[in-house]
Amino acid sequence: MTDDLINKYDLRVPRYTSYPTAPHFHDGVDGAVYRQWLSELDPATNLSLYFHIPFCDEMCWFCGCYTKIVKRYEPVKEYLDAVLAEVDLIADALPARMTAKHLHWGGGSPTMLKGEDWMATLDKLRARFDVASDAEIAVELDPRTATEDYVRDLERAGVNRASIGVQSYEPKVQEAIHRIQPYETTKQVIEWLRAHNISRINMDLMYGLPLQTTAEIESMIDMTVDLRPNRLALFGYAHVPWMQSHQKMIREEDLPGAAERWEQFSLAVERLKHLGYVQIGFDHFAHPDDPMANAVETGELHRNFQGYTTDTAPAMLGFGASAIGYLPQGYVQNERALKGYREAVFAGRPATAKGIALSDEDTLRRAVIEDIMCNLTAEVDPTHFARDLEKLKPLVEDGICTVDGGRVTVSEAGRPFIRLVASAFDAYLGTGEGRHSKAV
Ligand SMILES: C[S@@+](CC[C@H](N)C(=O)[O-])C[C@H]1O[C@@H](n2cnc3c(N)ncnc32)[C@H](O)[C@@H]1O
Ligand code: SF4
């Protein structure tokens, strides 16, 4: 049944890591608006902090992230100085010294930062925020460039979660994506992390990569589960060469077709569930002992720009070029260009380039979309949402979801279409957005 449905529906819908989604941000929300919003925060609000490090030392051809290749450390160091200046600038705009509960470094590759710079960054953060003693301090980590000394420096800085990019263990796939990373390298890094008390391990796997076959999926999952990650993400390769020109290096004839992508995904899900992992939303998995598995049970799962999270902070401050943040009043995104970003913060201005203020209607729809994406169900007012519920009719006929009064529930078989169900409540959909990648 699912094969037919994948062909039937246009699955190019947003991933709903925010609502409204980033293409609807506009330059009416600038640094002055952001400063105002920051000053209005309740000082008791817990904060989440996100840092974007847009550098890597080599380009993986599949990469869809915002990053630049650098061969020297100077640009990284210069950038980091700007990020630390931004921390001061933003902390000064807050109504009081506030508590940070979640810290996350993403990229690009935060592994580009030298050990001493991790210490300097954490020192600065501890100087300007109360970093909670139980705060989650997470970094995305590229195993190809991590050494044991580096892991030791992360431990010293207080890091307690690492998200490890793996993608595939198959040498011919690794060659086709220009990312050579033997299994032993990944295994070794995980052993170092655990030996240095960084025991919360996430791993990123992919399907739909060039030359990837359904036959390799089962062993990919088994080899991964042998490493006992606490959480796993299983991303379908999003081929968007019109946005990421380096993806043109990937031969389209090497890409698995829709049916094979679907087979790869289903096999991976089946195997992970068989091995005891709990499916989170559509493409994330948690070990049953992990708090994320528990959050599914208690309805406390959330979704933000890092994907699924147990982070409940109502405000996330984004630092670095292109970083996105949110406050109860709305979303803000920093300038993408490194030069413009640096100039703004060194001139003492927030580097906010765009954003969106949330209307009451946006807030209402955001809660419905987040409920569907996280809990597979939402309760809506059937009168207010009559037109949206109407849009779900074909999905109900196809068994993707049920609608009972105002209760919308995604069926187990409908999980792969979760984004499609959520999109019925997106009032902006089709209003001047770019192209999205396929949902499956
Ligand atoms: C910023 S990267 C991870 C950190 C680190 N740079 C690394 O590669 O090890 C985040 C993850 O996004 C996923 N990803 C990157 N490009 C993608 C694409 N085009 N389609 C789907 N997933 C992608 C990969 O699984 C990758 O590990
Ligand atoms: S996948 Fe990670 S390491 Fe590779 S280019 Fe993208 S951000 Fe850099």
How many Cβ atoms sit within 10 Å of the Cβ of residue 43? 10
For ligand 2, the distance from its centroid to the CA atom of residue 168, given in whole angstroms, is 14
Q: What is the dihedral of CA 319, 160, 129, 344, to 10 degrees?
A: -10
Asked whether residue 294 falls in the same domain as residue 424, the answer is: no
pLDDT in tens, the chain (440 residues): 577 777 787 678 899 999 999 999 999 999 999 999 999 999 999 999 999 999 999 999 999 999 999 999 999 999 999 999 999 999 999 999 999 999 999 999 999 999 999 999 999 999 999 999 999 999 999 999 999 999 999 999 999 999 999 999 999 999 999 999 999 999 999 999 999 999 999 999 999 999 999 999 999 999 999 999 999 999 999 999 999 999 999 999 999 998 999 999 999 999 999 999 999 998 999 999 999 999 988 988 999 988 899 988 999 999 999 999 999 999 999 999 999 999 999 999 999 999 999 999 999 999 999 999 999 999 999 999 999 999 999 999 999 999 999 999 999 999 989 999 999 999 999 876 555 566 56
Enter the DSSP assignment of 414.
Answer: T
pLDDT score, position 253:
97
N- to C-terminal Cα separation, the chain? 15
- Measured by CA distance, the residue closest to atom 6 of ligand 2 is 63
CATH number reported for the structural domain that contains residue 264 in this entry: 3.80.30.20
For ligand 2, the distance from its centroid to the CA atom of residue 59, given in whole angstroms, is 6
Q: Whole domain around residue 125: which residue ranges?
A: 21-326
Asked whether residue 290 falls in the same domain as residue 401, the answer is: no
Residue 345 domain-assigned? no
- Measured by CA distance, the residue closest to atom 25 of ligand 1 is 204
Asked whether residue 150 falls in the same domain as residue 285, the answer is: yes
Asked whether residue 416 falls in the same domain as residue 278, the answer is: no
Residue 247 domain-assigned? yes
Asked whether residue 3 falls in the same domain as residue 34, the answer is: no
Enter the DSSP assignment of 26.
Answer: B
Q: Is 167 in the pocket of ligand 1 (CB under 6 A)?
A: yes
Asked whether residue 208 falls in the same domain as residue 313, the answer is: yes
Asked whether residue 200 falls in the same domain as residue 57, the answer is: yes
DSSP 32-80: HHHHHHHHTS-TT--EEEEEEE-EESS--TT--S--EE-SSSHHHHHHH
Asked whether residue 76 falls in the same domain as residue 57, the answer is: yes
Both tokens of 120, joined, read 């300097």
CATH number reported for the structural domain that contains residue 374 in this entry: 1.10.10.920
- Report the predicted TM-score, pTM, of the whole model to 2 decimal places: 0.95
Which atom of ligand 1 sits closest to the CA of residue 140? 4
Residue with tokens 């399907």: 207
Asked whether residue 312 falls in the same domain as residue 418, the answer is: no
- Measured by CA distance, the residue closest to atom 8 of ligand 1 is 165
Asked whether residue 5 falls in the same domain as residue 35, the answer is: no
Residue 416 domain-assigned? yes
For ligand 2, the distance from its centroid to the CA atom of residue 250, given in whole angstroms, is 15
Residue 41 domain-assigned? yes
Residue 215 domain-assigned? yes
As for how many domains the chain has, the answer is 2
State the Cα–Cα distance between residues 212 and 239, nearest whole angstrom: 14
